[in-house]
Amino acid sequence: MPWNPDQYLKFAQPRLRPALDLIARIELDQPRHIYDLGCGTGNVTRLLAERWPDAEVTGVDDSAEMLAKAAEGSSRIRWVQQSLATWQPDAPPDVIFSNAALHWLPNHAQLFPALVDTLAPAGVLAVQMPRNFLAPSHTLVYETARAGSWRATLEPMIAPPPVAEPQVYYSILESRADSLDIWETEYLHVLEGKDAVKEWTKGTWLKRFLDALEEPERSEFEADYARRVGAAYPMLANGKTLLPFRRLFIVLKRK
């Protein structure tokens, strides 16, 4: 599906913080080949290149719109448009990094071991995925999908949460790991602006539901969701909105 870089970047700073936390947990001095899977607009990819200036850094994304934004300005980073579902590295990666992307892909029991198997010896897989799918920000998308004339179109898109419990990833990955660190963090994002949580999800999870509709149903669905989610996350007296958001982190070093 086409992505809107401007919508996604409305909340660039709170979206960046988990990526910084993940980068800080990668304990490699001189990786040669780094791949950022689901690089989007390249904000994090550039940080990877700054931390390891001697590495060959490749950003991979399936969105031409996101990569066009990423490629603005001079950069030594290589940008590759490719589906993450079929991606294979050109050289054994010392680091496979992915921030808020792999939850879009199914079959994690096959996907994650396959990624580890492409790593160079002692290479690192570093992944962050949202695990907020049972929070009102997401469940109200489904409630709204079932509540209007658009139900027949949107209800088939409702699915179980795409990210499993942490212990599931431990069981999938432990046998391939020299070291394996899995943890969760719930961030309290402080958002600004009208309909802040709606605007946040509009850049990611809500987008595919909106894209499935034509006008006027699209605008009606968006307004209905905005009303519901606004009640769940009310704006404070200072004009800010608090969004608790849970994320799952995995840092694996290959045997």
User: How many distinct structural domains can be found in the chain?
Assistant: 1
220 by Cβ neighbours in 10 Å (0-12 / 13-18 / 19+) ranks as middle
Rounded average pLDDT over 87-93: 96
| Sign of the dihedral defined by the CA atoms of residues 135, 137, 143, 146, in that order | negative
What tokens does 71 get?
């490629």
**Which pTM was predicted?**
0.91
pLDDT greater than 60 at residue 7 = no
What's the confidence (pLDDT) of residue 8? 40
pLDDT band at 203; cut points 50, 70, 90? confident
> What is the phi/psi pair of residue 25, to 5°?
-95, 5
pLDDT greater than 80 at residue 9 = no
What's the confidence (pLDDT) of residue 3? 41
Residue 243: which of 183, 184, 193, 207 has the closest Cα? 193
- Name the least confident of 18-22, 71-75, 90-94: 71-75
pLDDT band at 12; cut points 50, 70, 90? low
What's the confidence (pLDDT) of residue 135? 98
Q: Mean pLDDT, the chain, as a whole number?
A: 93
Q: What is the CATH number of the domain that holds 210?
A: 3.40.50.150
Residue 93: which of 62, 61, 55 has the closest Cα? 55
Calculate what percentage of the chain has a pLDDT beyond 70: 94
Question: Which domain covers residue 231, as residue numbers?
Answer: 5-254
Rounded average pLDDT over 132-159: 97
Is there a contact between 178 and 255 (Cβ–Cβ < 8 Å)? yes
Question: What's the CA dihedral at 201, 202, 205, 210 to 10 degrees?
Answer: 140
Q: Give CA–CA dist 100/203, Å, rounded.
A: 12
What tokens does 240 get?
């800010």
Q: Give CA–CA dist 226/137, Å, rounded.
A: 10
Residue 26: which of 129, 116, 97 has the closest Cα? 97
